[in-house]
Amino acid sequence: MDFISILSIFVLACFVGYYVVWSVTPALHTPLMAVTNAISSVIIVGALIASAEAGEGLAKWLGLAGVVFASINIFGGFAVTERMLAMYKKKERK
């Protein structure tokens, strides 16, 4: 892919992010931070490639360390978001 195609994806995604995030209700801003944390750990993809393709040596171990860090975030981030979201309840109508 050439740089311009990648840049186009990036810029359009920034716009999508802008509109989507403004529509998030302020009550859910803490879960928003927790879930953005989890999804930004998609960087695990890079860590996986490093640990697969880098052969032996330092690069591979750095990749594996990256996989551990990102996994903490992915599992921790999604789980804590789930836990928070489960607490938001509506008034029980009698």
Partner 1 sequence: MHEVAALPWPVALAYLVSGILFILALRGLSSPATSRRGNRFGMAGMAIAVVTTIATHKFLDMAEIIGAIVIGGVIGFIIARRIAMTAMPQLVAAFHSLVGMAAVVVGAAAYLSPLAFGIADPATGEIFAASRIEMGLGVAIGAITFSGSVIAFLKLNGNMSGKPIMLPGRHVINLAVLAGILGLVAYFVTDQSGWVFWTVTALSFVIGFLLIIPIGGADMPVVVSMLNSYSGWAAAAMGFTLHNTAMIITGALVGSSGAILSYIMCRAMNRSFISVIAGGFGAETGAADGGEAKEQRPWKRGSAEDAAFLMEQADNVIIVPGYGMAVSQAQHVLREMTDLLKEKGVNVKFAIHPVAGRMPGHMNVLLAEANVPYDEVFELEDINSEFGQADVAFVIGANDVTNPAAKTDKTSPIYGMPILDVANAKSVLFVKRSMGGVGYAGVDNDVFYMDNTMMLLADAKKMVEEIVKALSH
Q: Does 94 bind partner 1 (CB under 8 A)?
A: no
Residues of span 42-71 touching partner 1 by CB under 8 A? 42-60, 62-71
Cα–Cα dist 47/45, whole Å: 5
Q: 78 Cβ partners below 8 Å, 6+ apart? A: 35, 38
Q: Does 4 bind partner 1 (CB under 8 A)?
A: no
- Identify whether the C-beta of residue 17 lies closer than 8 Å to the C-beta of residue 35: no
Binding mask 8-47 vs partner 1 (x if CB under 8 A, - otherwise)?
-xxx-xx-xxx-xxxxxxxxxxxxxxxxxxxxxxxxxxxx
Q: Does 90 bind partner 1 (CB under 8 A)?
A: yes
